[in-house]
Structure 1
Amino acid sequence: MDLKSEKDILKVINEDDWMMGILTTAKSLNLPDWWVCAGFVRSKIWDILHGYSERTPMPDIDVIYFDDTNKNETEEKKLERKLNNIHPNVPWSVKNEARMHLANKIPSYSSSVDAISKFPETATSLGLKLDERDALTLAAPHGVKDVLNLEVKPTDYFKEDKERVAIYEERIAKKRWKSNWDKIKVQHIKSY
Protein backbone atom coordinates (compact mmCIF):
# COMPACT_ATOMS: atom_id res chain seq x y z
CA MET A 1 0.00 0.00 0.00
CA ASP A 2 1.12 3.50 -0.74
CA LEU A 3 0.89 6.20 1.91
CA LYS A 4 0.95 9.77 0.66
CA SER A 5 -0.87 11.87 3.26
CA GLU A 6 -2.11 12.26 6.80
CA LYS A 7 -5.50 10.99 5.59
CA ASP A 8 -3.84 7.77 4.32
CA ILE A 9 -2.09 7.30 7.68
CA LEU A 10 -5.34 7.70 9.60
CA LYS A 11 -7.09 5.24 7.28
CA VAL A 12 -4.55 2.42 7.75
CA ILE A 13 -4.48 2.92 11.51
CA ASN A 14 -8.30 2.94 11.69
CA GLU A 15 -8.18 -0.42 9.90
CA ASP A 16 -5.60 -1.86 12.35
CA ASP A 17 -7.57 -3.58 15.13
CA TRP A 18 -4.51 -3.99 17.36
CA MET A 19 -3.58 -0.30 17.18
CA MET A 20 -7.17 0.79 17.74
CA GLY A 21 -7.30 -1.53 20.76
CA ILE A 22 -4.17 0.10 22.19
CA LEU A 23 -5.70 3.56 21.68
CA THR A 24 -9.01 2.51 23.24
CA THR A 25 -7.15 1.11 26.26
CA ALA A 26 -5.10 4.30 26.66
CA LYS A 27 -8.26 6.40 26.39
CA SER A 28 -9.89 4.36 29.16
CA LEU A 29 -7.50 5.96 31.68
CA ASN A 30 -9.19 9.34 31.10
CA LEU A 31 -5.87 11.17 31.25
CA PRO A 32 -5.63 14.88 30.47
CA ASP A 33 -4.04 15.71 27.10
CA TRP A 34 -3.11 12.07 26.40
CA TRP A 35 -1.48 10.61 23.28
CA VAL A 36 0.11 7.33 22.18
CA CYS A 37 3.16 8.49 20.34
CA ALA A 38 6.56 8.06 18.73
CA GLY A 39 7.44 4.56 17.49
CA PHE A 40 3.84 3.37 17.80
CA VAL A 41 2.95 5.64 14.89
CA ARG A 42 6.26 5.78 13.00
CA SER A 43 6.80 2.00 12.95
CA LYS A 44 3.37 1.36 11.43
CA ILE A 45 4.08 3.82 8.63
CA TRP A 46 7.56 2.46 7.94
CA ASP A 47 6.34 -1.16 8.03
CA ILE A 48 3.74 -0.35 5.37
CA LEU A 49 6.22 1.60 3.23
CA HIS A 50 8.61 -1.37 3.41
CA GLY A 51 5.86 -3.79 2.37
CA TYR A 52 6.00 -5.80 5.61
CA SER A 53 3.08 -8.09 6.34
CA GLU A 54 4.16 -8.54 9.99
CA ARG A 55 4.42 -5.73 12.54
CA THR A 56 7.98 -4.84 13.56
CA PRO A 57 8.34 -5.51 17.32
CA MET A 58 8.34 -2.37 19.46
CA PRO A 59 10.41 -2.02 22.64
CA ASP A 60 7.60 -0.01 24.23
CA ILE A 61 4.27 1.69 23.67
CA ASP A 62 4.63 5.33 24.73
CA VAL A 63 1.56 6.82 26.38
CA ILE A 64 2.02 10.45 27.33
CA TYR A 65 -0.23 12.94 29.08
CA PHE A 66 0.00 16.39 30.63
CA ASP A 67 -1.07 16.87 34.25
CA ASP A 68 0.34 19.82 36.20
CA THR A 69 -1.53 18.77 39.34
CA ASN A 70 0.35 15.51 39.97
CA LYS A 71 3.93 15.32 38.74
CA ASN A 72 4.83 12.32 40.91
CA GLU A 73 6.54 9.57 38.92
CA THR A 74 4.82 6.93 41.07
CA GLU A 75 1.53 7.96 39.43
CA GLU A 76 2.99 7.00 36.04
CA LYS A 77 3.93 3.56 37.40
CA LYS A 78 0.38 3.08 38.75
CA LEU A 79 -0.99 3.92 35.31
CA GLU A 80 1.40 1.43 33.68
CA ARG A 81 0.13 -1.27 36.08
CA LYS A 82 -3.48 -0.43 35.15
CA LEU A 83 -2.63 -0.77 31.46
CA ASN A 84 -0.76 -4.03 32.12
CA ASN A 85 -3.84 -5.43 33.85
CA ILE A 86 -5.85 -4.75 30.69
CA HIS A 87 -3.17 -5.76 28.14
CA PRO A 88 -0.41 -7.70 29.95
CA ASN A 89 1.57 -8.50 26.79
CA VAL A 90 2.09 -4.87 25.79
CA PRO A 91 5.30 -3.06 26.89
CA TRP A 92 3.59 0.07 28.25
CA SER A 93 5.56 3.21 29.09
CA VAL A 94 3.59 6.09 30.63
CA LYS A 95 5.05 9.58 31.09
CA ASN A 96 3.58 12.82 32.37
CA GLU A 97 5.02 15.50 30.11
CA ALA A 98 4.38 18.09 32.84
CA ARG A 99 7.45 16.67 34.61
CA MET A 100 9.56 15.29 31.75
CA HIS A 101 11.29 18.62 31.10
CA LEU A 102 13.07 18.06 34.44
CA ALA A 103 14.38 14.67 33.31
CA ASN A 104 15.39 16.18 29.96
CA LYS A 105 16.91 19.30 31.60
CA ILE A 106 15.05 21.75 29.37
CA PRO A 107 12.39 24.45 29.88
CA SER A 108 8.92 23.14 30.76
CA TYR A 109 6.50 22.02 28.09
CA SER A 110 3.13 23.74 27.71
CA SER A 111 1.26 20.60 26.57
CA SER A 112 1.77 17.07 25.33
CA VAL A 113 1.89 18.27 21.71
CA ASP A 114 4.56 20.80 22.72
CA ALA A 115 6.55 17.87 24.15
CA ILE A 116 6.01 15.83 20.95
CA SER A 117 7.30 18.80 18.93
CA LYS A 118 10.56 18.57 20.90
CA PHE A 119 11.18 14.86 20.32
CA PRO A 120 14.59 14.34 18.65
CA GLU A 121 13.43 13.26 15.17
CA THR A 122 10.70 14.68 12.95
CA ALA A 123 9.68 11.15 11.91
CA THR A 124 9.10 10.27 15.57
CA SER A 125 7.31 13.51 16.49
CA LEU A 126 3.91 11.93 16.02
CA GLY A 127 1.03 11.13 18.34
CA LEU A 128 -2.35 9.48 18.07
CA LYS A 129 -5.45 9.57 20.23
CA LEU A 130 -9.18 9.05 20.12
CA ASP A 131 -11.22 12.19 20.66
CA GLU A 132 -14.42 12.37 22.73
CA ARG A 133 -16.37 10.84 19.80
CA ASP A 134 -13.70 8.12 19.32
CA ALA A 135 -12.47 9.69 16.09
CA LEU A 136 -8.79 9.08 15.44
CA THR A 137 -6.65 12.23 15.76
CA LEU A 138 -3.04 12.63 14.64
CA ALA A 139 -0.64 15.18 16.11
CA ALA A 140 2.23 15.88 13.74
CA PRO A 141 3.86 19.18 14.77
CA HIS A 142 6.48 18.80 12.03
CA GLY A 143 4.09 17.35 9.48
CA VAL A 144 4.18 13.87 7.97
CA LYS A 145 6.41 14.50 4.96
CA ASP A 146 9.62 13.17 6.54
CA VAL A 147 8.08 9.97 7.95
CA LEU A 148 6.34 9.29 4.61
CA ASN A 149 9.60 9.95 2.71
CA LEU A 150 11.44 7.57 5.08
CA GLU A 151 13.69 10.44 6.20
CA VAL A 152 15.10 10.66 9.70
CA LYS A 153 15.93 14.28 10.45
CA PRO A 154 16.44 16.16 13.70
CA THR A 155 13.71 18.49 14.88
CA ASP A 156 14.81 22.12 15.03
CA TYR A 157 15.04 21.79 18.81
CA PHE A 158 17.74 19.13 18.44
CA LYS A 159 19.81 21.21 16.01
CA GLU A 160 20.12 24.09 18.47
CA ASP A 161 23.05 23.14 20.66
CA LYS A 162 25.97 20.76 20.99
CA GLU A 163 24.41 18.62 23.76
CA ARG A 164 21.19 18.02 21.85
CA VAL A 165 23.11 17.23 18.65
CA ALA A 166 25.00 14.57 20.63
CA ILE A 167 21.74 13.15 22.01
CA TYR A 168 20.27 12.95 18.50
CA GLU A 169 23.34 11.20 17.09
CA GLU A 170 23.48 8.77 20.04
CA ARG A 171 19.82 7.88 19.53
CA ILE A 172 20.35 7.22 15.83
CA ALA A 173 23.24 4.87 16.64
CA LYS A 174 21.39 3.14 19.49
CA LYS A 175 18.04 2.68 17.72
CA ARG A 176 19.61 1.00 14.66
CA TRP A 177 16.46 1.68 12.65
CA LYS A 178 18.18 0.84 9.34
CA SER A 179 18.48 -2.78 10.50
CA ASN A 180 14.66 -2.99 10.53
CA TRP A 181 13.85 -0.53 7.76
CA ASP A 182 16.65 -0.49 5.19
CA LYS A 183 15.04 2.14 2.94
CA ILE A 184 15.21 4.95 5.50
CA LYS A 185 17.61 7.82 4.96
CA VAL A 186 19.25 9.26 8.07
CA GLN A 187 20.40 12.87 8.22
CA HIS A 188 23.35 13.35 10.52
CA ILE A 189 24.15 16.70 12.09
CA LYS A 190 27.57 18.14 11.64
CA SER A 191 29.14 18.62 15.03
CA TYR A 192 29.91 22.01 16.41
Structure 2
Amino acid sequence: MMSEKEVLSLIREDQWMMELLEAAKSLNLPDWWICAGFIRSKVWDVLHDFNERTIMPDIDVIYFDPANMDVREEKRLEGKLKSLRPDIPWSVKNEARMHIKNNLPPYSSSVDAISKFPETATALGVKLDEEDNLILIAPCGISDVINLEVRPTPYFAEDKARMNIYKERITKKNWQLTWNRVKVCHIDR
Protein backbone atom coordinates (compact mmCIF):
# COMPACT_ATOMS: atom_id res chain seq x y z
CA MET A 1 0.00 0.00 0.00
CA MET A 2 1.24 3.47 -0.91
CA SER A 3 2.00 5.88 1.94
CA GLU A 4 1.66 9.66 2.12
CA LYS A 5 5.45 9.85 1.84
CA GLU A 6 5.32 7.82 -1.39
CA VAL A 7 2.56 10.05 -2.82
CA LEU A 8 4.76 13.07 -2.11
CA SER A 9 7.70 11.31 -3.78
CA LEU A 10 5.62 10.63 -6.90
CA ILE A 11 4.82 14.32 -7.13
CA ARG A 12 8.36 15.47 -6.28
CA GLU A 13 9.81 13.21 -9.00
CA ASP A 14 7.36 14.52 -11.61
CA GLN A 15 9.01 17.56 -13.20
CA TRP A 16 5.74 18.71 -14.84
CA MET A 17 3.86 18.67 -11.52
CA MET A 18 6.68 20.50 -9.75
CA GLU A 19 6.74 23.18 -12.46
CA LEU A 20 3.01 23.75 -12.00
CA LEU A 21 3.41 23.93 -8.24
CA GLU A 22 6.19 26.50 -8.67
CA ALA A 23 3.98 28.53 -11.03
CA ALA A 24 1.11 28.52 -8.51
CA LYS A 25 3.46 29.40 -5.65
CA SER A 26 4.74 32.41 -7.64
CA LEU A 27 1.31 34.05 -7.24
CA ASN A 28 1.97 34.33 -3.50
CA LEU A 29 -1.66 33.57 -2.64
CA PRO A 30 -2.92 33.11 0.92
CA ASP A 31 -3.72 29.50 1.88
CA TRP A 32 -3.18 28.20 -1.67
CA TRP A 33 -3.22 24.61 -2.93
CA ILE A 34 -3.38 22.70 -6.19
CA CYS A 35 -6.03 20.15 -5.52
CA ALA A 36 -8.34 17.35 -6.59
CA GLY A 37 -7.57 15.62 -9.89
CA PHE A 38 -4.01 16.92 -10.00
CA ILE A 39 -3.11 14.49 -7.21
CA ARG A 40 -5.77 11.81 -7.69
CA SER A 41 -4.95 11.32 -11.37
CA LYS A 42 -1.23 10.98 -10.66
CA VAL A 43 -1.84 8.32 -8.02
CA TRP A 44 -4.34 6.40 -10.15
CA ASP A 45 -2.12 6.60 -13.24
CA VAL A 46 0.76 5.07 -11.28
CA LEU A 47 -1.45 2.39 -9.72
CA HIS A 48 -2.72 1.48 -13.20
CA ASP A 49 0.85 1.35 -14.58
CA PHE A 50 0.08 4.00 -17.20
CA ASN A 51 3.12 5.15 -19.18
CA GLU A 52 1.53 8.49 -20.04
CA ARG A 53 -0.24 11.06 -17.91
CA THR A 54 -4.01 11.09 -18.11
CA ILE A 55 -5.21 14.35 -19.64
CA MET A 56 -6.94 16.55 -17.08
CA PRO A 57 -9.71 18.99 -18.03
CA ASP A 58 -8.21 21.59 -15.67
CA ILE A 59 -5.66 22.23 -12.98
CA ASP A 60 -7.45 23.47 -9.88
CA VAL A 61 -5.63 26.14 -7.89
CA ILE A 62 -7.51 27.27 -4.81
CA TYR A 63 -6.78 29.90 -2.20
CA PHE A 64 -8.58 31.63 0.68
CA ASP A 65 -8.87 35.42 0.71
CA PRO A 66 -12.01 36.86 2.33
CA ALA A 67 -10.69 40.40 1.70
CA ASN A 68 -11.17 40.12 -2.09
CA MET A 69 -13.93 37.79 -3.25
CA ASP A 70 -14.30 39.36 -6.71
CA VAL A 71 -14.51 36.75 -9.47
CA ARG A 72 -12.50 39.10 -11.69
CA GLU A 73 -9.54 38.61 -9.35
CA GLU A 74 -9.68 34.86 -9.98
CA LYS A 75 -9.69 35.49 -13.74
CA ARG A 76 -6.73 37.88 -13.37
CA LEU A 77 -4.81 35.20 -11.49
CA GLU A 78 -5.69 32.60 -14.13
CA GLY A 79 -4.28 35.04 -16.69
CA LYS A 80 -1.02 35.32 -14.76
CA LEU A 81 -0.71 31.54 -14.64
CA LYS A 82 -1.57 31.34 -18.37
CA SER A 83 1.26 33.77 -19.09
CA LEU A 84 3.65 31.45 -17.23
CA ARG A 85 2.25 28.21 -18.65
CA PRO A 86 -0.11 28.83 -21.60
CA ASP A 87 -0.36 25.07 -22.25
CA ILE A 88 -2.22 24.46 -18.96
CA PRO A 89 -6.01 24.73 -18.47
CA TRP A 90 -5.80 26.65 -15.19
CA SER A 91 -8.81 27.09 -12.93
CA VAL A 92 -8.34 29.47 -9.99
CA LYS A 93 -10.98 29.75 -7.25
CA ASN A 94 -11.10 31.73 -4.02
CA GLU A 95 -12.64 29.34 -1.49
CA ALA A 96 -13.69 32.33 0.62
CA ARG A 97 -16.52 32.84 -1.88
CA MET A 98 -17.17 29.31 -3.16
CA HIS A 99 -19.56 28.48 -0.33
CA ILE A 100 -21.98 30.95 -1.96
CA LYS A 101 -21.80 29.14 -5.30
CA ASN A 102 -22.18 25.78 -3.53
CA ASN A 103 -25.01 27.04 -1.27
CA LEU A 104 -23.15 26.09 1.91
CA PRO A 105 -22.14 27.83 5.14
CA PRO A 106 -18.88 29.83 4.79
CA TYR A 107 -15.63 27.88 4.75
CA SER A 108 -13.01 28.78 7.35
CA SER A 109 -10.02 27.96 5.12
CA SER A 110 -9.00 26.19 1.94
CA VAL A 111 -8.51 22.97 3.90
CA ASP A 112 -12.05 23.29 5.27
CA ALA A 113 -13.29 23.69 1.67
CA ILE A 114 -11.30 20.64 0.53
CA SER A 115 -12.88 18.59 3.33
CA LYS A 116 -16.25 19.42 1.79
CA PHE A 117 -15.39 18.30 -1.74
CA PRO A 118 -17.81 15.56 -2.91
CA GLU A 119 -15.41 12.58 -3.00
CA THR A 120 -12.70 11.49 -0.57
CA ALA A 121 -10.41 10.54 -3.49
CA THR A 122 -10.42 14.15 -4.70
CA ALA A 123 -10.38 15.82 -1.26
CA LEU A 124 -6.64 16.37 -1.58
CA GLY A 125 -4.36 19.36 -1.91
CA VAL A 126 -0.64 19.88 -2.44
CA LYS A 127 1.59 22.95 -2.33
CA LEU A 128 5.11 24.20 -1.80
CA ASP A 129 5.71 26.04 1.46
CA GLU A 130 8.03 29.04 1.87
CA GLU A 131 11.09 26.73 1.97
CA ASP A 132 9.87 24.75 -1.07
CA ASN A 133 8.89 21.74 1.03
CA LEU A 134 6.12 19.76 -0.61
CA ILE A 135 3.04 19.63 1.63
CA LEU A 136 0.09 17.26 1.12
CA ILE A 137 -3.26 17.86 2.80
CA ALA A 138 -5.88 15.12 2.91
CA PRO A 139 -8.67 15.97 5.38
CA CYS A 140 -10.37 12.63 4.63
CA GLY A 141 -7.11 10.69 4.50
CA ILE A 142 -5.42 9.07 1.51
CA SER A 143 -6.62 5.49 1.92
CA ASP A 144 -9.44 5.81 -0.63
CA VAL A 145 -7.28 7.33 -3.35
CA ILE A 146 -4.51 4.76 -2.89
CA ASN A 147 -7.02 1.91 -2.69
CA LEU A 148 -8.71 3.10 -5.90
CA GLU A 149 -11.98 3.72 -4.09
CA VAL A 150 -14.41 6.57 -4.63
CA ARG A 151 -16.81 7.36 -1.82
CA PRO A 152 -18.51 10.52 -0.59
CA THR A 153 -16.76 12.69 1.96
CA PRO A 154 -18.47 12.63 5.37
CA TYR A 155 -19.92 16.05 4.58
CA PHE A 156 -21.66 14.73 1.46
CA ALA A 157 -22.62 11.38 3.00
CA GLU A 158 -24.62 13.04 5.79
CA ASP A 159 -27.13 14.78 3.51
CA LYS A 160 -29.52 13.36 0.91
CA ALA A 161 -29.36 16.41 -1.40
CA ARG A 162 -25.56 16.40 -1.34
CA MET A 163 -25.57 12.64 -1.98
CA ASN A 164 -27.58 13.29 -5.12
CA ILE A 165 -24.85 15.73 -6.25
CA TYR A 166 -22.24 13.05 -5.47
CA LYS A 167 -24.11 10.45 -7.53
CA GLU A 168 -24.52 12.84 -10.47
CA ARG A 169 -20.80 13.65 -10.39
CA ILE A 170 -19.85 9.97 -10.31
CA THR A 171 -21.99 9.33 -13.37
CA LYS A 172 -20.69 12.41 -15.21
CA LYS A 173 -17.01 11.83 -14.37
CA ASN A 174 -17.13 8.11 -15.26
CA TRP A 175 -13.63 7.58 -13.86
CA GLN A 176 -13.89 3.82 -14.35
CA LEU A 177 -13.71 4.35 -18.11
CA THR A 178 -10.16 5.70 -17.71
CA TRP A 179 -9.08 3.79 -14.59
CA ASN A 180 -10.82 0.41 -14.82
CA ARG A 181 -9.76 -0.80 -11.35
CA VAL A 182 -11.49 2.07 -9.56
CA LYS A 183 -14.35 1.00 -7.28
CA VAL A 184 -17.23 3.42 -6.75
CA CYS A 185 -18.98 3.16 -3.40
CA HIS A 186 -22.57 4.26 -3.19
CA ILE A 187 -24.34 5.08 0.02
CA ASP A 188 -28.09 4.99 -0.15
CA ARG A 189 -29.88 7.82 1.60
Aligned structure 1 segments of 4 or more residues deviating by more than 4 angstroms = none
**Residue correspondence of structure 1 range 69-148 to structure 2 within 5 A:** 69-148=67-146
Query: Distance in 2 between the 1:158 and 1:58 partners?
Result: 24
State the Cα distance separating 1:188 from its structure 2 match.
1.2
Pick one of 152, 161, 164 that aligns with 1:166: 164
RMSD: 0.7
State the Cα distance separating 1:189 from its structure 2 match.
2.1
Pick one of 51, 58, 62 that aligns with 2:49: 51
Q: Give CA deviations for 1:45-104 in whole Å, capped at 9, x if unaligned.
A: 000000001000000000000001000011000000110011001000000000000000
Query: Distance in 2 between the 1:128 and 1:85 partners?
Result: 22
SS in 1 for 2:44: helix
Query: Distance in 2 between the 1:80 and 1:89 partners?
Result: 12
Please, what TM-score do these two structures have when normalized by structure 1?
Answer: 0.97
Can you give the 5+ residue segments of structure 1 that lack an aligned partner in the other structure?
none
SS in 2 for 1:63: strand
Query: Distance in 2 between the 1:5 and 1:129 partners?
Result: 18
SS in 1 for 2:34: strand
State the Cα distance separating 1:159 from its structure 2 match.
1.1
Identity %: 65
What amino acid sits opposite 2:102 in the alignment?
N
Query: Distance in 1 between the 2:37 and 2:159 partners?
Result: 24
Query: Distance in 1 between the 2:129 and 2:33 partners?
Result: 10
Query: Distance in 1 between the 2:110 and 2:41 partners?
Result: 20
What amino acid sits opposite 1:45 in the alignment?
V
What amino acid sits opposite 2:114 in the alignment?
I
Q: Give CA deviations for 1:91-134 in whole Å, capped at 9, x if unaligned.
A: 00000000000000000000000000000000000000000000
SS in 2 for 1:100: helix
Query: Distance in 2 between the 1:85 and 1:132 partners?
Result: 23
Please, what TM-score do these two structures have when normalized by structure 2?
Answer: 0.99
Query: Distance in 2 between the 1:10 and 1:189 partners?
Result: 30
What amino acid sits opposite 2:36 in the alignment?
A
Match of 1:149 in 2: 147
